[in-house]
Amino acid sequence: MYEQADTLVHFSEVLQAQPLLSAEVLKPHPTCSLFVAWNGVLALVYEEFPSSLALAKDRLNMSMPDKSENFGSKWPKTTLGALNDSIEGFTLDKISKLRDLCRKYLKEIASANIRLQIGTLSVVQYDSRGLERLNERVDIALDREPEEASFVEEKQKNIVNSVVEEWDDLLDYLPKVNAAGSRISSYRDQSPSGSTCVAFLGPLPEELCSQLDLF
């Protein structure tokens, strides 16, 4: 989320300040939970950052005024996959078929009323940004049980909607999907090391796992 961030100690102190952050519930986006983002990255998209997670992001941003948050961290998602480096990109026909496939399975995800419980945030130092190899990890337990009706600022939903609505016009969106960058090597062997704050999910609800397996 943040390039060349400060130490994990600094991260954890910022996140544990008063008032304590409460546990939260993440909900898959109701109309676009499966989405192909810029550079052809496949993502599971959530409806918004609920209030406590938005506060955590604000605290981190304010604690590092000389750092800027990457745009990809401004909307909540789990990266599911990236294109191989040898793939040049999509044709309009292929991205259209993939969008149709996403829409087929996101309807099943939406109907399952899936809720992901977020009870811990983790600050990590990683070797690669896919987070498959971590050098250090510090977990911060969130306060209380997650609230189903957590307050959400309208701007949080607007940010997510502005992203996923881009592929309503595939002809205009296609160059962004095919833009260079964020191929699989950038998540693994060619990734620079760094630090970030994440919520590790698991175990995932069976309904979500089954739909992702079918997808």
Best CA proximity match to 40, nearest among 147, 178, 151? 178
So what's the pLDDT on residue 3? Answer: 42
- Contact at 8 Å (CB) between 47 and 33? no
Gap between the Cα atoms of 83 and 86, Å rounded? 8
The SS3 of residue 97 is helix
Strands 42-45 and 77-81, bridge-based pairing: antiparallel
Give 10-residue mean pLDDT values along the chain (215 residues): 60 89 92 96 94 91 83 92 91 96 94 93 93 92 66 79 96 95 91 91 91 92
CB 152 within 8 A of CB 50: yes
The SS3 of residue 186 is helix
pLDDT of residue 67: 79
The CA radius of gyration of the chain, in Å to the nearest whole number, is 17
Give me the residues paired with residue 121 across strands: 140
Query: What gap in Å lies between CA 119 and CA 208, rounded to an integer?
Result: 19
Return all residues near 78 (Cβ < 8 A) that are at least 6 apart: 43, 44, 201
Question: Going by C-beta distance under 8 Å and a sequence separation of 6 or more, which residues neighbour residue 212?
Answer: 44, 80, 105
Query: Which residues share a beta bridge with 138?
Result: 123
